[in-house]
Amino acid sequence: MKIAALKWEGNNIGDDIQSVAVMQHLPPVDVFLNRDHLKNYDGPETLLVTNGWFLSKMENWPPSPSIKPIFFGFHVQKHAKPTIARHVDYLKKHEPIGCRDQGTVDFIRSLGVNAYLSLCSTLTFDAPADRAPDSIYMVEVEDRYLSPKMFRKGLTVKHVSHRFIDVSAETRLQYAREVVQTYGRKAALVVTSRIHCAMPCVAMGIPTVFIGPKSYRTEIVEEIGLTRNGRQHWFRRPFVAKMDEWPAPIDIAATKNRIKSDLKARIAAALAAS
């Protein structure tokens, strides 16, 4: 059986961070499959951890019969629910469905399918051994949301975007690896509106502030114990009081170990059954 990982369209490098996270637990990957064109795959039988946000192109669901999915960290966006519901037999064939958030768990269970809260593989990153924090990373948020006393002496403030230009899948994955490694080595504090920045940073023990939209897509931040500071809408600036207290890192060691064990066990079982 071949091993696959997802590749993505769009400009959000957070998608690629999810693939990098999954690849930590897979054998070497043979092929990358486009999330929005899984129905068109016509290669040999291939194992795919089917994770992340689904779905943009409704006509391309369900995936090809040649794809053997492990649903883990699966999220169904609102507009895809009718499409997913029409193909409930596909989900039943591949249950249990590991879901990223409770909202998706509730939806999948409403279809009569076995589902559980797997959370997300981006919570399995470990801090690099050479961690030496020297910077505050502002990831798609503005400095004005921090009070002056948050800018500690000796720390550089750096601004990062998770939006990306149209480049190859290989380049996107390489950048995703590098940005996570950079946070792990250099971030003393991360303030972000991106869940796939917040979750890897929490997993690596970095003090993290999340400023982002309130929806079941992002409710995972509360599920891991991260306080949401303010709220943000896609076409508006975030509404949040200036932060003046340095947050403590969150210890999610038990959750991280559970996610790792669960995902590794499901991959091993799928390979043994092939």
Domain ranges of the chain: 2-122+256-273, 123-251
Beta bridge partners of 31: 4
Q: How far apart are CA 52 and CA 72, in angstroms?
A: 8
Residue-level pLDDT at 236: 45
Report CA 80 to chain centroid distance, whole Å: 18
Q: How many CA atoms lie within 13 A of 198 on its CB side?
A: 25
Find out whether 135 and 158 touch, Cβ atoms under 8 Å. Answer: yes
Residue 54 token pair: 């689904």
Residue-level pLDDT at 230: 54
Low-confidence ranges of the chain (pLDDT < 50): 231-240
Length of the chain: 274
Residue-level pLDDT at 243: 65
Q: How far apart are CA 113 and CA 106, in angstroms?
A: 10
Residue-level pLDDT at 239: 45
Residue-level pLDDT at 188: 95
Q: How far apart are CA 250 and CA 234, in angstroms?
A: 27
Classify the C-alpha dihedral 50-54-57-59 as positive or negative.
positive
Q: Which residues contact 45 (CB under 8 A, 6 or more apart)?
A: 1, 2, 66, 68, 274
Residue-level pLDDT at 18: 96
Q: How far apart are CA 154 and CA 175, in angstroms?
A: 27
pTM value is 0.92
Residue-level pLDDT at 217: 75
